Structure 1
Amino acid sequence: MYFADADRYASLPYRRTGSSGLDLPSISLGLWQNFGAANGLDRQREIILHAFDRGITHLDLANNYGPPPGSTEDNFGRILRSDLSPYRDELVISTKAGYDMWPGPYGVGGSRKYLLASLDQSLKRMGLDYVDIFYSHRFDPTTPLAETLGALKTAVDSGRALYAGISSYNAHRTLEALEVAREIGLTLTIHQPSYSMLNRWVEHPDAEAGGRSLLDVLGEAGLGTIVFSPLAQGMLTSKYLGGVPADSRAARGGSLSQGFLTAENLGHIEALAEIAASRGQSLAQLAISWALRDPRITSALLGASSVAQLDENLVALERLDFDSDELARIDEHAVDAGVNLWAARSSDL
């Protein structure tokens, strides 16, 4: 029987989610990779329970996480029932809908039909009465925003979600969403964009948003920001500095293409690794610290394939300080590397 560590809140810092009352751990656990049916349940359980013992209260899922789609929520539901159910009120559990989930026109997009059906399926898989955060996983240009956001409002009003969020909407789409949300009486609480030293789109001015960046828009509106893929799917680790390991994500194909590992990108990664070493950090720790340097960032969303990897990444929180010289050196190599997989599929970036 699992008993949570009595000192789980002793060291991990929490940050307020925008202007809401919700605090999130500076590092949250994402279950996008390594938690599907092909991965051992015992290993998943070990990682999730260890994360909670370290103070990581926020667990981020989506309907299509796996593979196969839905299996990550199934597995998490098993762990919740066997170990974490006594601690449900200490957990922030999020899920999303927007990408392909089941065949036909009602299994993808931003329609009310899809979003609410998906949320009900997610709740059933996890054995929950509600999730803490429900996201529109991507902007859907074929569906009116009023319908997409109206579905989020129904989720909150019905008690199936406590907070509503959006993911990967660019700056001007976020402004549109905020306006529609005000019109229908929905409070948007959080945004989840990709962001890393190799993918800095959230900082770029958006002409259609009056020259403001996404971070500018979120800061002004009081939305929290939880960034995913701060390690650029493992590119910002030591894994690829000596080539492509046979068991790596790039070697297996899928979301991380070997085409991203160009000589130019690897040169920047090697330079960043040298900067990390000068700070007494690993490259991964530097990447996490850097992503959290902006006070508008609420949390960095990290995956984990082992307890040891999770613990190593948490050490990043011990060095969140940067001087101007370090930031200037980093800026020489923290360049957009063409790794934003979610741009074209999200909101016409």
Structure 2
Amino acid sequence: MLSLRQEELLKRLMQAEQELTSEEIARMIGVTSRTIRTDMKALNSTLAEHGAVLQIKRGAGYTLTVEDYGSFRTFLKKSLGEKNEKKEQVIPNQPEDRVAYLLKRLLLSEVYIKLDVLAEELFVSESTVKNDLKAVRHLFSLHGLSVSHRPKYGLRLTGDEMKLRYCMAEHVFQKAHANSALLPEETYQLIQDIVRARTKASGLYLSEIGLSNLVTHIAIACKRIEEKKIVTMPETELKEIQVQPVFQVAQQMAEDIRHVLGIDFPLSEMAYIAIHLMGAKMMAYGDAGHTLFHLLEEDHFRFIHQLLAYVEEHMSLNIQFDKELIVGLSLHLRSAIHRFRYGMNIRNPYLTDIKRHYPIAFEAGVYMGRWPERKRGN
């Protein structure tokens, strides 16, 4: 088992883009370089048993080299993931907290759970759990999922694998630092680095929200694939996704993940990544001012012009011909159509701040959302 300081050393080494000297690490952590050298020696002995090694280059410093990704990944899950999960375990005592607990418990369980076990975990009566489960069943039903009950066995969540993953993203991993229940933070960071590198190389510029959602869904996919839970889709739909330009990017990400984490993505799971790439929120402009006009369609532009004309008529914001806004909204519409088609959810952690600090912009968004319904009513 690693000490807290050794854990910190390992995190620094995994995140480093080049060699780190003992003096540099000592300044980061706040100890002497001699202490760092002692810890590095102990850390190297531990890593050697789990598929990794610390290499020392004279005059340059330490680098982490992973030789067996499967063994190293298992080590990370046991030594870091379980610690983080235990730190976060808090017994809920309010109804809404118990509902959140039950949602997460059922989503992450692969076996039936008895009612008395849940009552014991929550330190409440079985009747209280039954009452809380009414809200839980309702929330699951919104995602097309249901809680089945089998006499003598207990409760278990049932439904389509893709819908189950969307629900996991919404109710389990929507909060900061909630990923320890999914994968160790270091593994999550590796996935994020892969996504950043591949999207940038392909000319796709994700917003921070788009990046966060995509990484979360890929992390969920990694966990579910390890548990032999694979997304399936009709052959015609699979072929349709394979001809999309982003499918090649999804393949490259899957290959990187296989190389780094030792997880094999079948074709349907690559398509699952591609679906999320198509639904990801993107920035209107990339590096060096390159626009994303090649992703937009003429119908989207016309629709956005109509939306802005409607908003201008009611709010007089003088934004109807703002080129950057038009491109941004067209990109948003493109992604939103894909999300609607595949029943995808999207989490916006800034929603409360947007309402508070940009009320006029939010009101304009509300007008836009209502316009299609009013148009159909005319």
- Give the TM-score taking structure 1 as reference length: 0.28
Please tell me whether Structure 1 or Structure 2 has the larger radius of gyration of its CA atoms.
Answer: 2
Higher relative strand content: 1
RCO higher in 1 or 2 (8 Å CA, sep ≥ 6)?
Answer: 1
- Give the TM-score taking structure 2 as reference length: 0.27
Higher relative helix content: 2
